[in-house]
Amino acid sequence: MSESEFRYCLRPNVSFKKQADLRGHKGVGATFLAYGFSFLKLQSRKSGLELAAILRQGRQWAEDNSGTVPRPKFEATKFEVPYLVGEASGTSVSIFVGKAPGERPKNLNWIGAQSADQWAEILRIKSPLGGIYLSAGKTPSIEVVIEVTSAEGTKTRKELSSPDYYYPHEIPGLKIQTVSDVAKAVAKVEGDPATKFARVGAEFKRLDALWEIWDREAILSDESPFASALTEESRTLIEKHNVIVYAVFLRSAKIWGEFNDEVLKLRKGQRLVHGGLQLASDFMPQGDLSIIPLTSTIGYQANTHVVVHFTDGNPDMGRKIFQPELTELGEQLAVRAVNVFKRFLTHLKPDTGAQVITPEKELYDWKKAQEAYRDANPLAFSSDHGSVALISKPRQEQDVIALFHEFVGMGLITGYKFLGTSQSDRYDSLFLLDYDSGEKFAFSQRNRLGVSKDLSQVGLSEPKVLEYKYSFDGLITDLDREEKFAKQIDLVVCWSVGSSYKERFYFEPLLVGDEGSSRNFYGSTHQVFLTGSHGQPQFELIVLEDLVSWLQDPVSEEARQKRKYRD
Is residue 360 assigned to a domain? no
Is residue 146 assigned to a domain? no
Is residue 190 assigned to a domain? yes
Q: Looking at 60, 88, 107, which one is the last position of a domain? A: 107
Is residue 122 assigned to a domain? no
CB 140, CB 162: distance < 8 Å:
yes
Domain region containing 476:
394-566
User: Which residues of the chain are under the pLDDT cut of 50?
Assistant: 317-319, 353-357
Q: What is the pLDDT of residue 231?
A: 92
Tens digits of residue pLDDT in 76-87: 999 999 888 888
What's the pTM? Answer: 0.59
Are 184 and 303 part of one and the same domain?
yes
**Integer Cα distance of 229 and 266 in angstroms:** 40
Is residue 332 assigned to a domain? yes
Q: What is the pLDDT of residue 358?
A: 56
Are 405 and 341 part of one and the same domain?
no
Q: What is the pLDDT of residue 105?
A: 73
Are 189 and 262 part of one and the same domain?
yes
Q: Is the dihedral of CA 476, 482, 486, 490 positive or negative?
A: negative
Buried b (16+ CB within 10 A) or exposed e, 233-268: ebeebbeebebbbbbbbbbbbebbeebbbeebebee
Backbone angles phi, psi at 280, to 5 degrees: -145, 150
Are 273 and 398 part of one and the same domain?
no
Q: Looking at 86, 107, 128, which one is the last position of a domain? A: 107
Q: What is the pLDDT of residue 519?
A: 93
Q: What is the pLDDT of residue 110?
A: 81
Q: At 271, is the secondary structure helix, strand, or coil? A: coil
**Integer Cα distance of 163 and 125 in angstroms:** 11
Q: At 356, is the secondary structure helix, strand, or coil? A: coil
Is residue 378 assigned to a domain? no
How would you class 78 by CB atoms within 10 Å of its CB: exposed for 0-12, middle for 13-18, buried for 19 or more? exposed
Q: What is the pLDDT of residue 25?
A: 55
> Maximum CA pair distance of the chain?
96
Are 337 and 419 part of one and the same domain?
no
Q: Looking at 73, 91, 107, which one is the last position of a domain? A: 107
Q: At 303, is the secondary structure helix, strand, or coil? A: coil
How would you class 105 by CB atoms within 10 Å of its CB: exposed for 0-12, middle for 13-18, buried for 19 or more? exposed
Is residue 373 assigned to a domain? no
Are 332 and 399 part of one and the same domain?
no
Q: How many domains does the chain have?
A: 3
Q: What is the pLDDT of residue 355?
A: 45
Are 474 and 532 part of one and the same domain?
yes
Are 226 and 284 part of one and the same domain?
yes
Q: What is the pLDDT of residue 353?
A: 46
Is residue 116 assigned to a domain? no
Are 340 and 402 part of one and the same domain?
no
Are 422 and 540 part of one and the same domain?
yes
Are 203 and 342 part of one and the same domain?
yes
Are 54 and 203 part of one and the same domain?
no
